[in-house]
């Protein structure tokens, strides 16, 4: 009937839009009327609950297409989505009732309420999304909005938790985006329909599992969970742990519903679920912080759910029991985990500290809450006749079926037992602490607000009811979600043998013993090495990426400022290597790699020493020229020229010899007046000989001796002759010097460069060119020119 | 008739402001009125383009047979609408920022002139008209870059000229070669028909045109002017620079690729990897540099290079889906980046904060501006349902349609890098400052209004992207037309 169809569509739109409208109303009202705002938020969530029930009661599948975003935002109410939507609405309503009391004195309460309503809208949107793109939109939106939950308290721990949450959510979102795009490629459509198998489909499934797994607290991607759930305020933690991580489980359920996954994925999911179960249980046992204990317990329980899904995937078409188990446990876990968080939150609030050792005596101070907490704990441990029993037994059956099918999976069942024992142990420990002696400086008992007890009571009541009537849940929610009829499978799913009924109690007893042992061993005080954790790996990768970016930015900055200089240090290095005949590889390596090493300083000092030698030699030459009678101006010029030439050359050789020494010796030489004087006199002598009679070998030998005396080492054979002072050679040197860093003129080059006005002009313009803007553009132009040429050739 | 009016109106207003030098209020009113009128004109043209086939109007004839011809088609209408719509908040911002400062009439005059020139580029029907508009606004905008007359501004302006003048020359050379090879420079969907057989000449023309327009499009390694120009230029013009001026380069590249050469010929020439690889390198390198950059405006400038690189990479895939994604992404990026520059400009003026490390506690000092900055940053990261998500999704699915796994990887890396360089901005803004808490310094002026307006547009374009007349529909139609269909 068209009317009912339209009613269904209206209900769907209202389900997602109404919380947004309520959020807006609360935000507007909060400024003036705080009590009205809090009441309005309760009304908002209550109305959402009614809408969810109405949709549930509405027969048929309503579909709505809203023209928004890319093309169409599709909403669809099918049983699987409604199962999750229903439990989400229930938990949210209970939490908003709880907040009436809990957030009474909190100054930022309204921000929390508004955020909570917006996140509710997003979360419901995920559950009723009709195609993958709509699911992605709601998933990302509510994921990042949930960040506000985590950082609500504003202290340093909350901010750190927020950072981890943000990055994991973002990376998961990127993976999910890629996965869904690949799915569109593989299936040709974005509808929630079976996807044909293929390469793209496999990649898509992998990426989507990663994306949903981050949200679901799958082992390996769970690092954000313990910090985030313990840093958020109690009502927000209940929502985070209770419902928001179920969005991830829902996504994984949809994936396996529509992909024909091969065995590898099933095994991977099973193993990850198993690891999550066990690691979560062990970590929770080692916690001192009550909320972190509950957060690790969430990881453990999600491991149960994921293991059930994995077993179902491996079982293929017979996997109904596994999927049903996962769905039912998701439903139940939402109820008891949120009840636990709310109850523990209230007790922590009353005791003033979340440390387990300070929570003693709560059973007397808040007896009602304590009893309700006991109910929830019993539920999570899986004691009959509460709801946890049915779902855990179903999971057990699914895993046992898998073991009977394939011998290799027998270990899975043992893993289940171990994890159940761990769960029992952690809650035994929690209850023990709550019943212990109250600490000496416990704050005064204040009355627990009624609303808080009422909220927890509602959830506990649901736990009991669901436990007493497991068939109701299975028949009306779970089986329709799987699209199978009740008659065929009902009996199988809920058939509990005597062993099934007894095992929870046995597990509880063993758990008691394990808890005692854990306390005896001081498990809470032991910390595993940091590198062992997945946490460390992720943080390490993050830090490495940031360091790489920082280095890239610094290099770019240096390139911009240094221009051409940087690029040709290698040329200078090569030259240096040639000069020392590559024998001193260590020094060359040091020179190459560490231009910023002490050698730099040594060079600068030696450079200054060479300048001093040249100046001193020129002074001596001037005096000499003046003293020789009858010398013409041209002769004096020539003498000065020659002196500068030889002094420079000697200085250069001094440098090349000195760097082979120790740093202290080299510095000593660099500051030694005597060395300066000696070499200057030697230079003058060589110049005088040159001017008068031309270049002589003997003069060279003398120079070698002088240098050897100064350096205190054996005479270094002079590499080639002193470069002659010819125009062509000067041009060669000038051209070479254009490439070498002017600052590094102590590299062994001809000293004749120093006097070339042409050379200094070129050096100056090279400086200017090497700064902005020439270097980048010139490089770019050259590169592009080369590319053009290649292009035309190609 | 509407097209020449839309193009000439801002130019006339610019001339009037420059000539008569009206008082502060008169200049403000006139500029805002002119920009709003231009925007409405472009909106009407966009409606025309959505429902009617392209039509040409000849303005003048330069050298027969080449003339200044204007045309309204989907791509031009999309670009014109983006430019004129961004100019409305930009003018508000400029009016707020200029206040009673010196040379404000000169600034507004040149500002409006640039609008007119960019519209000339948008509605150009042949390569010569596009080149005329392109050169005009390239050369004139240097006056805006050096407006503040600081040493840094002059250096930035000089560097910009050094890049842009050779670029313009190369583009002219390319145009000339095209004309000599094909005897026509009119934009024809699917490429000019008579391009001749000489591959080497075609490649040369392609290379010249890509280099020439790539300078403006911040194509690696021709992007060197961008990080210097942005902090030096006045905030309203930085927003225009990042938002639409860089997009103009990409727009010109799209026109050249699809309507001068044509996809078929380009595949035969096998030159597209030469565009794809620099674009991909630019995305990653600019993203990395943005992470390490402390100065806010430079960080946003590198971010622009990276984001526009996405578009260029997608365009080089020669795939209609990817082209749609690129066009939508450019249009959305204009508003997101423009809004970010508006907000950052307001923060710089009122709180004196120029660096990310000084942003601590901005959430308390300028709450509305800080919220807008966060919203726009999230939009840039691609959070649904904001407009950045639309572009991101279309780019990703377009890359997959083209079968290019490497383009997909580059896009995803760029997306993560975007979060990496925007997260510190968000985090520092909302970290409570150390005591004593500084006081609020938010002022309700044109700058805040501009940022609000842009934020609203970003949300609107995100939520309502599928509605007709919005950028997505126009981009889709443009892609179909360019690919030679409908």
In chain B, residues with a C-beta closer than 8 Å to the C-beta of A137 are: 384-385, 389
Query: Which residue do the tokens 């490439």 mark?
Result: A739
Q: What is the pLDDT of residue A248?
A: 93
Q: Summarize pLDDT for B395-408 with one digit per residue, the tens.
A: 999 999 888 888 99
Q: What is the mean pLDDT of residues B161-190?
A: 87
Q: Are A725 and A707 in contact (CB under 8 A)?
A: no
Partners of B295 in the β-ladder: B355
CA distance A65 to A62: 10
pLDDT greater at residue B282 or residue A645: B282
Residue A229, φ and ψ in degrees, nearest 5? -70, -25
Instruction: Determine whether the interchain pair B389/A137 forms a contact, defined as Cβ–Cβ distance below 8 Å.
Output: yes
Q: Are A777 and B162 in contact (CB under 8 A)?
A: yes
Q: Are A51 and A11 in contact (CB under 8 A)?
A: yes
Q: Which of the residue ranges B37-41, B65-69, B217-221, B452-456 would you say has the lowest mean pLDDT?
A: B65-69
Provide the pLDDT confidence category of residue A210 given band limits of 50, 70 and 90: very high
Q: What is the pLDDT of residue B310?
A: 92
Enumerate the H helices of B382-486 as residue ranges: 387-401, 405-430, 446-463, 471-482
Q: Are B73 and B49 in contact (CB under 8 A)?
A: yes
Nearest chain A residue to B278 by CA distance is A784
B254 Cβ contact partners less than 8 Å away, ≥ 6 residues apart: B75, B315, B323, B326, B327, B482
Query: Which residue do the tokens 């179903």 mark?
Result: A394
Q: Summarize pLDDT for A656-701 with one digit per residue, the tens.
A: 777 667 777 778 888 888 888 888 888 888 888 877 776 666 666 7
Residue B444 contacts A where some CB pair is shorter than 8 Å: no
Residue B63 contacts A where some CB pair is shorter than 8 Å: no
pLDDT greater at residue A239 or residue A449: A239
Enumerate the H helices of A563-632 as residue ranges: 564-567, 569-579, 585-593, 598-627
C-alpha triplet A571, A573, A577: angle, nearest 5°: 115
Q: Nearest CA to CA, how far is A534 from chain B (Å)?
A: 20
Provide the pLDDT confidence category of residue A715 given band limits of 50, 70 and 90: very low
Best residue of A17, A24, A69, A794 to probe chain B, by most B CBs closer than 10 Å:
A69
Q: What is the pLDDT of residue A136?
A: 93
Q: What percent of chain B has pLDDT over 70?
A: 96
Q: Summarize pLDDT for A536-567 with one digit per residue, the tens.
A: 778 888 888 888 888 888 777 776 666 545 55
Partners of A721 in the β-ladder: none
Q: What is the mean pLDDT of residues A404-421?
A: 86
* pLDDT beyond 50 at A439: yes
Best residue of A119, A553, A779 to probe chain B, by most B CBs closer than 10 Å:
A553
The per-residue DSSP string of A18-87 comes to HHHHHHHHHHHHHTT-HHHHHHHHHHHHHHHHHHHHHHHHS-S-EEEEE--SSS-EEEEE-HHHHHHHHH
Q: Are B226 and B304 in contact (CB under 8 A)?
A: yes
pLDDT greater at residue B203 or residue A436: B203
In chain B, residues with a C-beta closer than 8 Å to the C-beta of A141 are: 383-385
CA distance B143 to B137: 10
* pLDDT beyond 50 at A755: no
The per-residue DSSP string of B301-325 comes to HHHHHHHHHHHHHHHTT--HHHHHH
Helix axes B367-381, B405-430, angle to 10 degrees: 160
C-alpha separations of B222 from A136, A564, A754, B162 in Å: 37, 17, 37, 11
Q: CA nearest A642: which of A691, A706, A702?
A: A691
Q: Summarize pLDDT for A307-353 with one digit per residue, the tens.
A: 999 888 888 777 788 888 899 899 999 998 999 999 999 888 888 78
Q: Summarize pLDDT for A152-201 with one digit per residue, the tens.
A: 888 888 988 999 999 999 999 999 999 999 999 888 888 888 888 888 88
DSSP-assigned letter for residue B68 = E
Q: What is the mean pLDDT of residues A192-213?
A: 88
Which residue among A144, A174, A792 places its CB closest to the CB of B203?
A: A792
User: What CA dihedral angle connects A502, A504, A510 and A513, to 10 degrees?
Assistant: -120
- When mean pLDDT is compared over A621-635, A730-744, B464-478, the highest value belongs to A621-635
CA distance A473 to A654: 93
What SS3 string covers A723-760?
CCCCHHHHHHHHHHHHHCCHHHCCCCCCCHHHHCHHHH
* pLDDT beyond 80 at B467: no
Q: What is the pLDDT of residue A299?
A: 93
Q: Nearest CA to CA, how far is A265 from chain B (Å)?
A: 23
CA distance A331 to A770: 68
Task: Kindly report the average pLDDT of chain B as a whole number.
Answer: 87
Q: What is the pLDDT of residue A746?
A: 42
3-state helix, strand, coil in chain B (%, to 5): 75, 5, 20
Q: Which of the residue ranges A142-146, A584-588, B9-13 would you say has the lowest mean pLDDT?
A: A584-588
Q: List the structure tokens of A496.
A: 């509990």
Partners of B60 in the β-ladder: B68
Partners of B355 in the β-ladder: B295
Q: Summarize pLDDT for B99-135 with one digit per residue, the tens.
A: 777 788 888 899 999 999 999 999 888 888 899 899 9
Here the contacts of B55-64 (C-beta below 8 Å, separation 24 or greater) are B56/B125, B57/B1, B57/B3, B57/B4, B59/B4, B59/B129, B62/B128
Which residue among B158, B207, B385 places its CB closest to the CB of A137?
A: B385
Q: Which of the residue ranges A46-50, A324-328, A402-406 would you say has the lowest mean pLDDT?
A: A402-406
Q: What is the pLDDT of residue B168?
A: 92
Nearest chain A residue to B225 by CA distance is A773
Q: What is the pLDDT of residue A744?
A: 44
B216 Cβ contact partners less than 8 Å away, ≥ 6 residues apart: B134, B138, B164, B167, B245, B246, B248, B249, B252
* pLDDT beyond 50 at A592: no
In A70-89, the residues whose Cβ lies within 8 Å of chain B are: 70-72
Q: CA nearest B194: which of B62, B186, B68, B67?
A: B186
Q: What is the pLDDT of residue A118?
A: 92
In B379-398, the residues whose Cβ lies within 8 Å of chain A are: 381, 383-385, 389-390, 392-394, 396-397
Nearest chain B residue to A160 by CA distance is B427
C-alpha triplet B311, B312, B315: angle, nearest 5°: 85
In chain B, residues with a C-beta closer than 8 Å to the C-beta of A777 are: 162-163, 166, 224
Provide the pLDDT confidence category of residue A729 given band limits of 50, 70 and 90: low
CA distance A273 to A314: 13
Residue A289, φ and ψ in degrees, nearest 5? -95, 125
Provide the pLDDT confidence category of residue B307 given band limits of 50, 70 and 90: very high
Residue B305 contacts A where some CB pair is shorter than 8 Å: no
pLDDT greater at residue A496 or residue A761: A496
Q: List the structure tokens of A698.
A: 């003997």
* pLDDT beyond 70 at A599: no
Partners of B70 in the β-ladder: B57, B124
Q: What is the pLDDT of residue B338?
A: 94
A721 Cβ contact partners less than 8 Å away, ≥ 6 residues apart: A695, A700
Residues in chain B: 486
In B189-218, the residues whose Cβ lies within 8 Å of chain A are: 200, 203-204, 207, 211
Nearest chain B residue to A555 by CA distance is B289
pLDDT greater at residue A609 or residue A763: A609
User: What CA dihedral angle connects B248, B253, B254 and B255, to 10 degrees?
Assistant: 90
DSSP-assigned letter for residue B58 = E
Strand B66-72 to A73-77 pairing? unpaired
* pLDDT beyond 50 at A612: yes
Instruction: Determine whether the interchain pair A553/B427 forms a contact, defined as Cβ–Cβ distance below 8 Å.
Output: no
Partners of B460 in the β-ladder: none
Which residue among A170, A178, A772 places its CB closest to the CB of B159?
A: A772
DSSP-assigned letter for residue A449 = P
Q: Are A110 and A23 in contact (CB under 8 A)?
A: no
Q: What is the pLDDT of residue A762?
A: 59
């Amino acid at each position: 009937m068209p009317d009912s169809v339209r009613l269904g569509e209206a209900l769907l739109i209202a389900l997602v839009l109404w919380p947004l409208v309520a959020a807006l109303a609360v935000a507007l009202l909060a400024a003036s009327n705080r009590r009205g705002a809090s009441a309005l938020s309760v009304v908002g969530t209550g109305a959402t609950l009614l809408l969810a029930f109405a949709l549930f009661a509405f027969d048929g599948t309503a579909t709505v297409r809203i023209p928004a975003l890319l093309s169409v935002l599709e909403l669809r109410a099918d049983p699987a989505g409604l199962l999750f939507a229903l439990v989400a609405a229930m938990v949210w309503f209970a939490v908003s009732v709880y907040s009436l009391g809990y957030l009474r004195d909190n100054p930022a309460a309204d921000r929390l309420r508004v955020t909570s309503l917006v996140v509710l809208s997003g979360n419901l949107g995920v559950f009723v999304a009709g195609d993958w793109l709509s699911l992605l939109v709601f998933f990302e939106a509510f994921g990042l909005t949930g960040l506000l939950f985590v950082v609500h308290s504003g202290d340093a721990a909350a901010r750190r938790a927020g950072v981890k949450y943000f990055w994991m959510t973002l990376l998961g979102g990127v993976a999910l985006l890629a996965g869904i795009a690949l799915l569109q490629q593989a299936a040709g459509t974005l509808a929630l329909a079976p996807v044909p198998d293929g390469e793209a489909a496999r990649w898509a499934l992998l990426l989507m599992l990663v994306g949903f797994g981050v949200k679901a607290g799958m082992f390996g991607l769970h690092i954000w969970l313990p910090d985030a759930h313990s840093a958020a305020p109690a009502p927000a933690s209940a929502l985070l742990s209770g419902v928001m991580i179920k969005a991830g489980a829902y996504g994984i359920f949809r994936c396996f519903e529509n992909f024909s996954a091969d065995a590898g994925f099933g095994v991977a999911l099973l193993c990850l679920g198993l690891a999550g179960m066990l690691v979560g249980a062990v970590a929770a046992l080692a916690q001192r912080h009550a909320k972190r204990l509950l957060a690790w317990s969430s990881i453990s329980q999600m491991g149960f759910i994921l293991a059930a899904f994995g077993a179902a995937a491996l079982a293929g078409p017979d996997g109904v029991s596994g999927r049903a188990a996962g769905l039912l446990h998701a439903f139940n876990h939402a109820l008891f985990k949120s009840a636990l968080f709310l109850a523990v939150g209230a007790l922590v609030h009353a005791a003033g500290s979340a440390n387990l050792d300070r929570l003693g005596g709560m059973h007397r101070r808040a007896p009602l809450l304590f009893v309700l907490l006991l109910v929830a704990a019993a539920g999570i441990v899986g004691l009959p006749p509460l709801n946890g029993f049915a779902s855990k037994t179903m999971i057990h059956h699914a895993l046992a079926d898998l073991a009977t099918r394939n011998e290799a999976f027998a270990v899975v069942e043992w893993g289940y037992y171990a994890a159940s024992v761990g769960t029992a142990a952690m809650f035994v420990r929690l209850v023990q602490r709550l019943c212990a002696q109250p600490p000496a400086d416990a704050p005064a008992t204040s009355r627990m607000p009624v609303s808080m007890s009422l909220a927890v009571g509602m959830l506990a009541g649901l736990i009991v009811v669901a436990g007493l009537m497991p068939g109701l849940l299975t028949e009306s929610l779970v089986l329709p979600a799987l699209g199978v009829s009740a008659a065929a499978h009902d009996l199988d799913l809920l058939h509990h043998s005597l062993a099934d009924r007894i095992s929870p109690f046995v597990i509880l007893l063993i758990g008691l013993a394990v808890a005692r042992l854990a306390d005896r061993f001081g498990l809470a005080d032991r910390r595993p090495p940091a590198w062992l954790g997945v946490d460390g790996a992720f943080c390490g990768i993050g830090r490495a990426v940031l360091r790489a970016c920082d280095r890239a930015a610094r290099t770019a900055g240096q390139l911009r400022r240094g221009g051409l200089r940087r690029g040709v240090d290698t040329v200078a290095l090569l030259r240096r290597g040639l000069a020392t005949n590559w024998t001193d590889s260590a020094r060359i390596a040091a020179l190459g790699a560490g231009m910023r090493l002490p050698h730099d300083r040594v060079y600068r000092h030696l450079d200054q020493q060479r300048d001093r030698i040249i100046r001193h030699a020129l002074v001596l030459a001037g005096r000499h020229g003046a003293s020789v009678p009858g010398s013409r101006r041209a002769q004096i010029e020539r003498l000065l020229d020659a002196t500068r030439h030889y002094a420079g050359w000697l200085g250069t050789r001094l440098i090349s010899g000195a760097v082979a020494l120790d740093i202290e010796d080299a510095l000593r030489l660099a500051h030694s007046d005597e060395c300066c004087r000696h070499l200057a006199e030697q230079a003058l002598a060589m110049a005088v000989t040159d001017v008068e009679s031309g270049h002589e070998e003997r003069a060279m030998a003398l120079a070698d001796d002088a240098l050897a005396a100064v350096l205190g080492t054996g005479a270094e054979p002079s590499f080639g002759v002193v470069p002659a002072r010819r125009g062509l050679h000067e041009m060669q040197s000038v051209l070479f010097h254009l490439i070498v860093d002017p600052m590094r003129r102590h590299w062994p080059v001809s000293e004749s460069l120093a006097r070339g006005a042409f050379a200094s002009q070129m050096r100056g313009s090279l400086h200017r060119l090497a700064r902005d803007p020439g270097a980048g553009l010139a490089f770019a132009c050259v590169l592009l020119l080369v590319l053009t040429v290649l292009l035309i050739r190609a | 008739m509407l097209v020449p009016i839309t193009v000439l109106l801002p130019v006339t207003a610019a001339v009037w402001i420059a000539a008569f030098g009206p008082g502060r209020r008169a200049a403000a009113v006139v500029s805002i009125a002119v920009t709003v009128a231009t925007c409405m004109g472009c909106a009407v043209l966009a409606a025309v383009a959505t429902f009617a086939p392209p039509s040409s109007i000849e303005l003048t004839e330069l050298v027969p047979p080449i003339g200044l011809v204007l045309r309204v088609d989907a791509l031009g209408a999309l670009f014109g609408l983006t430019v004129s719509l961004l100019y409305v908040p930009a003018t508000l911002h400029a009016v707020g920022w200029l206040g009673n400062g010196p040379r404000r009439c000169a600034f507004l005059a040149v500002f409006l002139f640039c609008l007119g020139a960019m519209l000339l580029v948008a509605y150009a029907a042949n390569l010569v008209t596009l080149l005329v508009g392109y050169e005009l606004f390239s050369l004139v905008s240097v006056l805006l870059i050096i407006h503040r007359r600081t040493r840094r501004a002059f250096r930035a302006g000089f560097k910009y000229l050094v890049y842009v003048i050779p670029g313009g020359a190369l583009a002219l050379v390319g145009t000339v070669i095209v004309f000599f090879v094909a005897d026509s420079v009119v934009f024809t969907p699917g490429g000019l028909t008579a391009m001749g057989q000489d591959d080497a000449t075609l490649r040369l023309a392609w290379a010249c045109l890509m280099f020439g327009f790539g300078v403006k499009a911040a194509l690696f390694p021709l992007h060197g002017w961008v990080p210097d120009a942005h902090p030096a230029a006045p905030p309203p013009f930085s927003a225009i620079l990042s938002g639409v001026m860089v997009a103009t380069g990409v727009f010109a590249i799209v026109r050249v690729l699809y309507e001068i050469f044509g996809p078929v010929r380009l595949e035969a020439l096998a030159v597209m990897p030469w565009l794809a690889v620099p674009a991909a390198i630019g995305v990653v390198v600019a993203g990395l540099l943005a992470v390490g950059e402390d100065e806010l405006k430079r960080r946003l400038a590198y971010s622009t290079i990276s984001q526009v690189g996405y578009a260029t990479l997608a365009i080089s895939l020669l795939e209609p889906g990817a082209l749609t994604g690129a066009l939508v992404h450019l249009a959305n990026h204009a508003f997101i980046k423009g809004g970010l520059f508006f907000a950052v400009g307001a923060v710089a003026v009122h709180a004196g904060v120029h660096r990310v490390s000084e942003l601590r506690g901005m959430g308390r000092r300028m709450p509305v501006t800080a919220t807008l900055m966060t919203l726009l940053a999230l939009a840039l990261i691609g959070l649904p349902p904001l407009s950045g998500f639309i572009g991101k999704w279309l780019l990703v699915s377009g890359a997959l349609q083209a079968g290019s796994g490497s383009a997909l990887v580059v896009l995803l890396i760029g997306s993560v890098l975007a979060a990496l360089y925007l997260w510190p901005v968000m985090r520092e803004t909302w970290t409570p400052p150390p005591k004593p808490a500084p006081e609020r310094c938010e002022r309700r002026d044109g700058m805040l209004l501009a940022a609000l307006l842009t934020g609203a547009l970003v949300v609107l374009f995100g939520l309502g992207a599928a509605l007709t007349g919005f950028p997505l529909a126009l981009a889709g139609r443009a892609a179909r037309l360019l690919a030679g269909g409908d």
